Amino acid sequence: YLAVFGSIVAFSAYLYVLKYARPAVATSYAYVNPPVAVLLGVLLVGETVGPYDLAGMAIILAGVAVITLARTRRAA
């Protein structure tokens, strides 16, 4: 039930974002999901995060920020 319901919600949200945003921004969810999952693991389950994990997440989030800010700079 959770897998089916979660997939329906996630796919619907993806289609909504794809309709109203650039494809590069809409597909950035795939890069943001792992850091969010790690954060939830730390907060809910008490998992530990090492320096390599933090560096990897920083690189991922910096890449998403560059993609997101690229459109803002073009519009200005």
Residue owning tokens 């389950």:
45
Residue 4 confidence (pLDDT): 76
- Show me where the domains of the chain are located: 2-75
pLDDT tens-digit profile of 35-68? Answer: 888 888 889 999 999 999 999 989 988 988 888 7
CB 37: neighbour CB atoms within 10 A?
A: 10
Tens digit of each residue's pLDDT (9 = 90 or more) over 1-38: 667 777 888 788 888 888 988 787 777 777 777 888 88
Q: What pTM does this model have?
A: 0.58
Radius of gyration of the chain (CA): 15
